[in-house]
Amino acid sequence: MKAILKFDYPVFTKKIIEEKLAPFGFKFSVVGFGEIEFHEDLPSEKYEEITSMLTDLGIEVLENQKNILVQKIKDTIIEMVSNEEPLNVKSSVYLTEKLDHSYGYLSNLFSEVTYTSVENFIIIQKIEIAKQLIINDQLSLTEIAYKLNYSSVAHLSTQFKNCTGITPSAFHRIITKRKNKTLNN
């Protein structure tokens, strides 16, 4: 049997972090998505142990200020595109307000560190969510386009094809065939 899961990444991540850090006995708070604040100084060997445990989970502890801000940009974008209701604000305004830096600075830093643009990262995140929504098969393409704040289904389809090489309809057909094949076996 196959089960399709939908994650609330911030909630899921917070629970995992809390569960994994609790045995260390240090007081901490999960300040935001991808950010932890320890309420006491950690001995260096414990810090290394925590860093190693997090690395084993696929979580990188960032210490370079530029990388930290780029990760905050990524987390904010994921939060923005994962929002249940479409936001009626431009992504540049959203990032500026959330991160308290000018969009020009955020955009330049992001490009410098990741070798891609903020806009491209947003598109990739939207297409990943679109794929999950198509797989879940609960929304029409029109509803998916609205949910992801696209101006039209055609705009979503164009970006989907540019990112994946196939149209959303073709992706849906492939997923449906795979589901049917799994059910028949």
Q: Distance of CA 156 to CAs 19, 20, 88, 145, 146, Å? A: 38, 39, 17, 6, 9
Instruction: With 0.85 as the threshold, say if the pTM is over it.
Output: no
Q: What angle do CA 65, 8, 117 make, to 5 degrees?
A: 45
Q: Residues for the chain: how many in total?
A: 185
185, 156, 182: which is closest to 171 by C-alpha? 156
Pick the CATH number of 65-184 from 3.90.1150.10, 1.10.10.60, 3.30.360.10, 1.10.760.10: 1.10.10.60
Helical ranges in the chain per DSSP H: 9-21, 44-56, 65-82, 91-99, 103-114, 118-136, 141-147, 153-164, 168-184
Query: What does each of the 185 residues of the chain score in pLDDT, given as a tens digit?
Result: 667 777 777 788 888 888 888 888 888 887 766 778 888 888 888 888 888 888 888 887 877 788 889 999 999 999 898 887 777 788 999 999 999 999 999 999 999 999 999 999 999 999 999 999 999 888 899 999 998 989 899 999 999 999 999 999 999 998 888 878 777 76
DSSP state letters, 20-44: HHGGG---EEEEETTEEEESSPPPH
| Structure confidence at residue 176 (pLDDT) | 86
Q: Which residue ranges make up each domain of the chain?
A: 9-56, 65-184
Buried b (16+ CB within 10 A) or exposed e, 58-75: eeeeeeeeeeebbbbbbb
Structure tokens at 172: 């849906």
